[in-house]
Amino acid sequence: MTYDVAIIGAGVIGSALFRELGKYSLSTLLIEKENDVALGCSRANSAIVHAGYDPPTGTFMARFNVEGNKMYPKLCEELSVPYRMNGSLIVALTEDEMPQVHSLYENGLRNGVDGLRVLSQEETHALEPNLKESICGALLAPTGGIVGSYEFTTALAENGVANGGHVALNAEVVRIEKFTDADEPTTELTKHGGYFRVTFADGRSIKARYLVNAAGIYSDAVQQLVGKERFTVTARKGEYYILDKRQGNLVDRTIFMCPSKLGKGVLISPTVHGNLLIGPDAQDGLDKEDVSTSRKGLDFVRDMSRLLSDKVDFRDSIRNFAGLRALPNGKDFIIEIDPDVDALINLAGIKSPGLTSSPAIALYAVELLANCGLELKENSNFNPYRVENRFSEMTDEERIELAKKDPAYGRIVCRCEQVTEGEILDAIRRPLGATTLDGVKRRCRPGSGRCQGGFCGPRVLDILSRELAVPREKIMKDKAGSYILVGKTKEILE
């Protein structure tokens, strides 16, 4: 089989395009080197839906940030993804930073951001009384929001499968070749027609007429497998704190510092799940697989956050994590038809605000594919909707009714997050269902609370083993090879 379009990379950019292509009568394949979607930059970030006041006017970042922001409410409602337009404040720590606040306001107006307003010191503290008293003022961006980032990515990919798309997991791309329609290798990479043959590390290969490179921090390496070197992408690491829900109401809005050359700085934000998020720092030039945390990095995050508020109780920290951002060698997203390889689309270097921009980038990428010659015929059976039951968000009456229909929804597995067995079964049985402990966690949150899976982890493992019909020793925590059990204790000791 030759696919019409193959997308390399199942992060939020690739998954958004995958779903968008489901609106057309196409054969589409989403390719991912890991054993699940959302395991790269899309799994560990600030989960912020940015308003769009910061990117330079006229850039892809500015355009798609503002367009994507406006798409989020409807899209998250369709996909049953947790989202809240909580607004954001960009604060001036000193009077010297107030001109920058005004500059961001003017830049946001040029970018088309709605509702921006510069606040005085008194107005700022009236909105957020737990901010440090010395803060001098702020820019209010009411269209800023927060989202479940891995739930969003997973829902996009799942909806793409539900609408006829295909996914190849554990499929690391190691070779890309271009052939003519007569199956002859060609070096005339700009010639119309023909197909790509994409080979994976395990020897499997697929064919596709059009190829989209959405490989995140590895997008430069993927592009160079078939084309001339056009760009480089490096990794920027950021470390974070997640605090218990007792801290979740410290602020209502996302609180930013004035941005610097290293990014938007350390933020304090509620999460859509009721926790408090603090971070990140910015560390450049590191290995593209390095997601370790460090005392130095976390101390920096903690110390910088105290410039925003001195009321954070870090004794309520329940988890630290680090995420990677894809930094291009230029100053903008790389979104292009490769000039040397016809029918290859590069969606590369999608750093912040990439999460916000993803649905708008997907729309534009469809246009680029059409410009390359892809025929777009509407899929009359496209279903944009996805329904997910969240026991923790239901009323008592709704819970009782649901448990009557399916007793699995009456059995709490994760006490911290109030997750039922029914929700876990849904996460496993859905299109593109979970096969690992963390895969279940990313979809419906068992293990995300204060005990971090200490109580519910073994029960989730048993459910996975039962549903997938595999021994418990074969169930992994996360990525390939991360087995949890190795055998029975007495047998091993003997």
Residues with catalytic annotation?
50
Cα(152)–Cα(143) distance, rounded to whole angstroms? 18
Tokens read off for 56: 């330079």
List phi, psi (to 5°) of 166.
Answer: -120, 150
Virtual torsion, Cα 120, 124, 127, 133, nearest 10 deg: -130
Question: Minimal CA–CA distance to 170: which of 472, 481, 484, 463?
Answer: 481
Question: Minimal CA–CA distance to 263: which of 169, 190, 326?
Answer: 326
Spatial contact of 131 and 251, defined as CB atoms under 8 Å apart: yes
Tokens read off for 469: 């019909």
Tokens read off for 284: 């450049």
